[in-house]
Amino acid sequence: MIPAAFDYQAPDTVADALAALSSGADEVKVLAGGQSLIPVLRLRMAAPSLIVDLGRIPELSGVSDDGDAIMIGAMTTHDQVTHDPLIAEHAALLARAAETVADPQVRHLGTFGGSLAHADPAGDMPAAALALNAEMMITGSQGERTVAAKDFFVGLFETAVGEDEILTSIRVPKHTGWGSHYEKFNRVAQQWSIVGVAATLRLDGGTIAEAGIALTNMGLTPIRASAVEQALVGRPPNEDAVRQAAEQAAAGTHPPSDANGDADYRRHLAAVLTRRAVLAAAG
């Protein structure tokens, strides 16, 4: 790998990292797990003058209980998300999505926060975070602010994180006892999602009481399938009811067309995969 030359800093604290971001360098890139940034550097599709590596800031990793929510450090790896007991209990959808990311090597290096901040429309974690109504804790020189997942993903590879800010942690409301499933569709295991569906449900007395459904790679950002959610609530999680609700999955979406599938095919997939995801989440 021979990228263009850049300066490199690996601060120990978030404060030092923020200082580096504001140091006046031409173009600064934040390095988390490097699973997206390093290939871009290798291909010389980006030539930042400074790279700030968050890998040596211990406070950015790990999962903790925060009352009615859990807090997940941005540098927590996909593998940790997959196996963390707090996540398993209170936000299992994240584990279901994280375990589908690429391959074991990538999951041991790639991070939850990095995946959200990169905002690849074909990445799996953004839809899962959106379905769970996660809140993004963003720190800048002016202090910390909180942005809801629905406002965080702004466009293609574009988020609410400013140039002098860092996504430090993700607050996920507890979904204790909810059923969860991430239905990923791709052609080979290491490939990005052609379409993915994140689904989490709370059942009450044989009917669906609450539902969170979000779609991967059906537009420039992850998309909340609100119509499906509304159609599901109050219905039993059986094949017919779910099929009917899932038919609205692609409503209002503008999916891409590429060698893996055109927009019409993706809309079709969204309906099929939503049905499967919901039925699997309902157990």
Partner 1 sequence: MTTTADRRSAEIGAPRTRKEDRHLLTGRTRWTANITLPGMLHLAMVRSTVAHARITGIDTSAAKRAPGVAGVFTGTEIADAQGASLPCVWPVTPDQVAPPHPAMAVETVNFLGEIVACVAARSATEARDAAELVDVEYGELPVVTDLAVAAADQEVIHPDLGTNRSAHWVFDSAAAGTGGDVDSAISAARESGVVVERTYRQQRVIPAFMEPRSVAVDPTGEQTTVWSSTQIPHILKLILAMTTGLPESKLRVVAPDVGGGFGGKLEVTPEEMITLVVAGRLGKPCAYAETRSESLMGAHHGRDQIQKLTLAATRDGTVTAFKVELTANMGAYLGLTTPGIPILGAFMYNAIYKFPAYRFTCDNVFTNTVWTDAYRGAGRPEATFAIERMMDELAAELDLEPLALREKNWIRHEEFPFTTVAGMEYDSGNYEAATAKARDLFGYDDLRAEQAKRRADGDPVQLGIGISTYTEMCGLAPSRVLGALSFGSGGWEHASIRMLPTGKVEVVAGVSPHGQGHETSWSQIVADRLGVPFEDVEILHGDTGVSARGLDTYGSRTLVVGGIAVVKAIDKVIEKARPIAAHLLEADPDDLEFANGTFTVKGTGKGKHISELALAVFLAHDLPDGVEASLDAEATFDPANFSFPHGTHLCAVEVDTETGRTTIRRYVAVDDCGVVVNPMLVDGQVHGGLAQGISQALFEEALYDENGTLVTGSFVDYLLPSAADLPSYLTDRTETPATSNPLGVKGVGEAGTIAATPCVVNAIVDAVRHLGVDDVPMPCTPQRVWAAIDQARERSAARPSGGAQ
Q: Name the residues that contact partner 1, by CB under 8 A.
A: 2, 4-5, 39, 42-44, 103, 185, 187-192, 194, 259-262, 265, 268-269, 272-273
44 or 145: CB nearest partner 1:
44
Supply 124's token pair.
Answer: 């799996």
Q: Which lies closer to partner 1 via its Cβ, residue 65 or residue 258?
A: 258
The CA-based angle 34-36-38, given to 5 degrees, is 55
Work out how close the CB of 188 gets to partner 1 at its nearest, in angstroms, rounded to a whole number: 5
Residue number with CB closer to partner 1 (7 or 262) = 262
233 closest CA partner among 257, 191, 200, 268: 200
Q: For the CB of residue 97, give the shortest distance to partner 1 in the complex, in Å.
A: 17
For partner 1, which is the closer residue by CB, 59 or 239? 239
Nearest to 213 by CA among 271, 135, 155, 154: 271
| Minimum distance from residue 185 beta carbon to partner 1 (Å) | 7
State which residue, 5 or 24, has the beta carbon closest to partner 1: 5
- The values of phi and psi at residue 166, to 5°, are -135, 135
For residue 8, the minimal CB distance to partner 1 (Å) is 15
Q: How many CB atoms lie within 10 A of CB 25?
A: 17
Min dist CB 85 to partner 1, Å, is 26
Q: Dihedral angle at the C-alpha atoms of 190, 128, 114, 153, nearest 10 degrees? A: 120
Amino acid identity of residue 240, one-letter, is D
Note whether 131 and 198 are within 8 A (CB): yes
- Complex with partner 1: residue 73 or 114, whichever CB lies closer: 114
Work out how close the CB of 183 gets to partner 1 at its nearest, in angstroms, rounded to a whole number.
Answer: 10
Nearer to partner 1 among residue 21 and residue 249 (C-beta): 249
CB of 104 to partner 1, least distance (A): 10
Q: Of 85, 83, 121, which is closest to residue 104 (Cα–Cα)? A: 83
- Least Å from the CB of residue 24 to partner 1: 23
171 vs 268, beta carbon nearer partner 1: 268
